[in-house]
């Protein structure tokens, strides 16, 4: 028998991903601590990790990419929007795919987070090298590492807390 629950309908999924993208945009713009190298530290990675652990790889791919790209467009970093779209989208996808192997497993979640951190740091180094040169891109890598680590450190317990408070959320992954 096919599940016709409205919570699994395409409309629900689209709305959920749109909300996750909006949350990612807000987390990116809400706290912006300028980096000495360039750019700024933000909490986008918290929203991306949360989306990946809670809603799965596809949700995190779309919400992470669109949310951060939109924040770049709004926040006067339009030249970074295509890079953010790809890098943060891939970050969410990688975290979600690895975490899907054993949902709720802390060691797997940490492994997924570390893989997502590598995607983010390497992706922004490559994108930054194209935009500003390799020197400035490498100078920003430590800040990106701290930002992505904070996202994993905060995203894992946030996801676990939401799943504990609302167990049906575990069925909303795609």
pLDDT single digits (tens) 14-30: 999 999 999 999 999 98
For helices 81-100 and 106-132, give the axis angle rounded to 10 degrees.
160
Question: Cβ of 64: how many Cβ atoms within 10 Å?
Answer: 34
Burial of 103 (0-12, 13-18, 19+ CB in 10 A): middle
Q: Which CATH number fits domain 7-165: 1.20.1250.20, 2.60.40.10, 1.10.1760.20, 3.30.930.10?
A: 1.10.1760.20
The ranges assigned to domains in the chain are: 7-165
Kindly state the tokens that stand for 16. Answer: 């959920």
| Mean per-residue pLDDT over the chain, rounded | 92
Using pLDDT thresholds of 50, 70 and 90, give the confidence band for residue 173: confident
Closest CA to 162 of 50, 61, 57: 50
> How many Å apart are CA 28 and CA 25, to the nearest integer?
5
pLDDT exceeds 80 at position 1 = no
pTM, to two decimals: 0.92
């Amino acid at each position: 028998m096919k599940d016709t629950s409205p919570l699994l309908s395409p409309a629900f999924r689209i709305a959920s991903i749109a909300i996750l993208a909006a949350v990612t945009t807000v987390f990116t713009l809400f706290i912006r601590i300028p980096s000495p190298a360039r750019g700024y530290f933000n909490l986008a990675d918290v929203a991306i990790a949360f989306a990946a652990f809670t809603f799965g790889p596809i949700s995190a791919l779309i919400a992470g990419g669109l949310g951060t790209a939109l924040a770049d467009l709004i926040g006067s970093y339009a030249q970074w929007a295509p890079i953010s779209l790809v890098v943060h989208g891939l970050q969410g996808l990688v975290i979600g795919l690895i975490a899907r192997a054993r949902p709720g497993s802390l060691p797997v979640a940490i492994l997924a987070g570390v893989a997502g951190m590598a995607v983010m740091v390497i992706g922004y180094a490559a994108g930054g090298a194209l935009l500003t040169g390799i020197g400035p891109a490498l100078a920003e890598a430590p800040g990106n590492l701290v930002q992505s680590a904070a996202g994993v450190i905060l995203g894992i317990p946030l996801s676990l807390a939401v799943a504990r408070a609302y167990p049906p959320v575990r069925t909303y992954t795609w």
